Amino acid sequence: THIKCYTKGMYLYRLFLLIVGASIAIVAREASAAPPNTDPIEGRYSFSLTTFHPSGKLPQLEHAIKASTLGPPIIALTIPNRISNKGHGHESDNEQEQQILLSSIQNLPSPLMNDDGTARFVQISNSIVVGHTGVNADGRVLCEAAQRLSVEHTYTFDEEIPVDVLLEEMALLFQEYTMKPGCRPFGSSLIVASLNDNIMYKYNNANVDGSGCSIFRIDPAGTVTKLDSIGFAGRGDGDEIVRKLRDAGCMDCSNIDEAEKIVMDVLRNESGSARKAMGGAQDGDGGADTGSSRTTSTSTT
């Protein structure tokens, strides 16, 4: 009896060692097959917005920022509109009235569609226009929130909402959803174009053109970035697109019609190159860029 128990115990012990050895071999093989930059414990810290990765990052927030760069490209451009003063007591002087041109490519999944139902640019006040890219549904919610802030400010203070107040409130909304339980960050970025110059006095940083026109970008983390005379957000290499616009003479245009033509050509060429390189990549709402494309633009003076 003792011999049988001893034999059975040895058999179970060897079986246990075999199972443990096989498990260690499988884990080692999976670890060696994983890409060198892949964190094997990434999933442990990506299930919650409020759980930080050991590296100090928020994985879900990085995913949201990535989603905001998959939407259609948006370009915001400040250009001077030269107005002749002849007939108003000035014979040779010309004034320069600054304008902001906002343009975006609209990729439709079918040539039978005329519109996808999403307004890429939304007017917030008489001097502020907001454009969104990334997840279209998130962009619509954010634009609606910006419009509600503008209406509430006008009703309360009987004045148009200043751009710095709008930027602060929208940044707080973005940041709130990076730590709110049971929610996810917004997968959309905003381009805010303003003709109001109160932001220059607050930050003591005038626009490079010396005008009251200002362009800002808000990312899913709630970070507000003041852009140059050319602003970009969305899919594509922003630095390369800005370089193409400058090389095409977009900053030397005398009126908004010339600038619009250059921007439309650059956007169409960029969209065609992206479709060839990506093989029909999807936009922020999952619509494939295999159908027709159209460039939409708006301007404010």
pLDDT at 231: 87
pLDDT at 210: 39
- Do 263 and 244 meet the contact criterion of CB atoms below 8 Å apart? no
Q: Is the pTM of this model over 0.85?
A: no
Q: Give the chain's residues under pLDDT 50.
A: 83-94, 199-210, 280-292, 299, 301
Helix axes 238-247, 256-278, angle to 10 degrees: 140
Question: Tokens 């992206």 sit at which residue?
Answer: 274
pLDDT at 204: 45
pLDDT at 260: 85
Helix (H, G, I), strand (E, B) or coil at 248: coil
pLDDT at 241: 85
Helices vs. strands in the chain: H and E counts, helices first:
7, 9
pLDDT at 269: 81
pLDDT at 105: 82
pLDDT at 42: 54
- Please compute, for residue 300, the number of CA atoms within 13 A of its CA located in the half-sphere on the CB side: 22
Contacts of 83 (CB under 8 A, 6+ apart): 94, 95, 96, 97
- Please compute, for residue 17, the number of CA atoms within 13 A of its CA located in the half-sphere on the CB side: 5
